[in-house]
């Protein structure tokens, strides 16, 4: 690049002060000339002192403060509007970044090189690695499954050979070209979309395309990329531009389910055929029944609300309240000290060590003579064999045959005060065995009552009204 182009970085943040500070520090270390780089942070009315912290540490960073949380959509639209109203021709490229990423020192340089040397490419994105597992790819661009309304992440969860032993700090600075480390990997690849976690677009093209659809969060960057592709521009991902992003693998779907299910319908309607919308709508209804059978009635109703609002043309932010209250996993010992809970069933799907509750249960077993814990071990050859993670517990192995296994579950009915369920691998029948179900993940636990037949029948009636 003989004449270095000018780039505007747009970052959107909300109550993630430490993350955005880390990102800005990593931007200080990139190889791209700082004289050709401006940074704008759009703060969505954070209450954690984000704007003040940025102003105190990064004098050259412009902070635009929204009066309320406008979501990722509103935040990026604020930044894009600021860019569109800037002096004509001031910026050659706009670089959109999530607030919870760290960027490789060559990340921007490689993206700019792709666009400078390929005039038919409209935008380019970075390969997204997982921040919590730095050796693992989260996505190398993605594709839209227009038949089922889903996203197919390219090379999702693939490990980079030899990276497990390396520190993230070293990976951020060493020369990286995944096309030389992965089989059948080209330096760039055409995809349907690249996430706005790291997306570089030609500034004139961004202005021509216009602002994001009012989704609030999720699928907004996907729709934008599809719109750009339909304008005849190529969308590519680079194997030489890397970022590390907080992984979604340990995040449990909750209120975001509303936006996921509503917005994908708007996306399909804008860029696909009617049959895709109809098929996806029915899939949304099936998922609602799944959550209802688990005992998460509020999440089941979110799916119905998402479909109803789509059909009514409702977009933007939605006020959402959930029935289930999630508590920090560090407080799980409070549950174990409750003497009204005398019998607990733990299936093999609950990873006691990863969630951090093993110690609380083991301690309670030592201190309480009135506490009984039954560990349901995995069936032979069906589930991964996980060693029993608690000393001194009663163990029952689940039957291999599914019919026999369901009979086994039935025989455990009403023998426990609490059944634990993993939020990552749920066994629906277990939600019906005890008066209380406790859903466990690596960050929180959630207490819910057993589902009721009357609630399920009521939900099915509501589903059928939307099905036909």
Whether the pLDDT of residue 149 is over 70: the answer is: yes
Whether the pLDDT of residue 386 is over 50: the answer is: yes
- Which parts of 104-187 are beta strand (E)? 121-130, 137-139, 142-145, 150-153
Fold entry, domain 326-450: Rossmann fold (3.40.50)
What are 100-126's pLDDT values in tens digits?
Answer: 999 999 999 999 999 999 999 999 999
- Which parts of 131-227 are beta strand (E)? 137-139, 142-145, 150-153, 188-190, 198-202
Range name among 198-202, 279-283, 388-392, 443-447 with the lowest pLDDT average: 388-392
Question: Token pair of 269, please?
Answer: 């309607």
Range name among 65-69, 189-193, 368-372, 380-384 with the lowest pLDDT average: 380-384
* pLDDT value at residue 250: 63
| In the chain, domain spans | 7-245, 256-324, 326-450
Domain 7-245 CATH class label: alpha beta
Cα separation, 70 vs 404, in Å, equals 51
Element housing 70 (H / E): none
What are 448-459's pLDDT values in tens digits?
Answer: 999 999 999 999
Distance from CA of residue 122 to its chain's centroid? 26
Cα separation, 450 vs 435, in Å, equals 5
The mean pLDDT value for 15-41 works out to 96
Nearest by Cα to 38 from 64, 17, 16: 64
Strand partners, 343: 372
Whether the pLDDT of residue 412 is over 50: the answer is: yes
Cα separation, 230 vs 222, in Å, equals 12
* pLDDT value at residue 388: 72
Range name among 181-185, 206-210, 386-390 with the lowest pLDDT average: 386-390
Cα separation, 230 vs 136, in Å, equals 31
Range name among 41-45, 65-69, 276-280, 392-396 with the lowest pLDDT average: 392-396
Domains 7-245 and 326-450 share a fold: no
Nearest by Cα to 60 from 28, 88, 33, 92: 28
Summary mean pLDDT of the chain: 94
What are 238-258's pLDDT values in tens digits?
Answer: 999 999 998 776 678 799 999
Nearest by Cα to 419 from 354, 369, 346: 346
On whether the CB atoms of residues 76 and 12 are closer than 8 A, the answer is: yes
* pLDDT value at residue 274: 79
Whether the pLDDT of residue 69 is over 50: the answer is: yes
The pTM for the full model equals: 0.92
The mean pLDDT value for 334-348 works out to 95
* pLDDT value at residue 1: 47
Neighbours of 437 (CB within 10 A): 24
């Amino acid at each position: 690049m003989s004449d270095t182009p000018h780039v505007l970085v747009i970052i959107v943040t909300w109550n993630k002060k430490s993350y955005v500070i880390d990102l800005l520090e990593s931007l200080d270390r990139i190889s791209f000339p700082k004289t050709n780089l401006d940074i704008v942070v759009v703060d969505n009315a954070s209450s954690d002192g984000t704007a003040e912290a940025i102003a105190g540490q990064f004098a050259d960073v412009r902070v635009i403060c929204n009066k309320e949380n406008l979501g990722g959509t509103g935040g990026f639209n604020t930044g894009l509007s600021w860019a569109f109203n800037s002096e004509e021709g001031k910026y050659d490229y706009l670089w959109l970044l999530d607030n919870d990423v760290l960027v490789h020192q060559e990340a921007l340089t490689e993206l700019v090189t792709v666009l400078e040397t390929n005039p038919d490419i409209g935008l380019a994105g970075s390969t997204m690695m997982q921040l919590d597992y730095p050796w693992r790819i989260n996505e190398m661009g993605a594709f839209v499954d227009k038949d089922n309304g889903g996203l197919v992440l390219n090379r999702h969860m693939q490990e980079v050979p030899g990276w497990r032993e390396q520190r993230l700090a070293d990976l951020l600075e060493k020369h990286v070209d995944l096309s030389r480390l992965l089989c059948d990997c080209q330096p760039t690849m055409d995809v349907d979309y690249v996430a706005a976690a790291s997306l570089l677009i030609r500034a004139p093209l961004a202005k021509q395309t216009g602002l994001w659809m009012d989704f609030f969060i999720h699928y907004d960057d996907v729709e934008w990329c599809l719109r750009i592709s339909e304008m005849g521009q190529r969308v590519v991902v680079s194997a030489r531009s890397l970022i590390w992003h907080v992984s979604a693998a340990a995040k449990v779907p909750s209120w975001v389910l509303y936006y996921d299910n509503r917005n994908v319908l708007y996306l399909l309607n804008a860029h696909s055929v009617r049959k895709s919308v109809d098929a996806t709508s029915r899939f949304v209804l099936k998922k609602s029944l799944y959550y209802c059978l688990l005992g998460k009635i509020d999440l089941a109703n979110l799916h119905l609300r998402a479909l109803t609002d789509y059909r009514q043309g409702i977009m933007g932010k939605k006020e959402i309240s959930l029935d289930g209250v999630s508590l920090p996993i560090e407080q799980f010992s409070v549950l174990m000290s409750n003497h009204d809970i005398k019998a607990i069933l733990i299936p093999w799907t609950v990873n006691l060590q990863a969630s951090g509750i093993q110690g609380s249960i083991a301690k309670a077993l030592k201190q309480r003579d009135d506490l009984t814990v039954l560990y349901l071990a995995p069936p032979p050859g069906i589930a991964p064999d996980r060693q029993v993670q608690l000393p001194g517990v009663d163990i029952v192995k689940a039957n291999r045959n599914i019919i026999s296994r369901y009979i086994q579950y039935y025989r455990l009915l009403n023998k426990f005060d609490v059944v634990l369920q993993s939020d990552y691998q749920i066994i629906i029948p277990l939600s019906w065995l005890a008066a209380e179900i406790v859903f466990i993940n690596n960050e929180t636990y959630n207490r819910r009552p057993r589902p009721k037949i009357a609630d399920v029948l009521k939900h099915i009636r509501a589903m059928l009204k939307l099905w036909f």
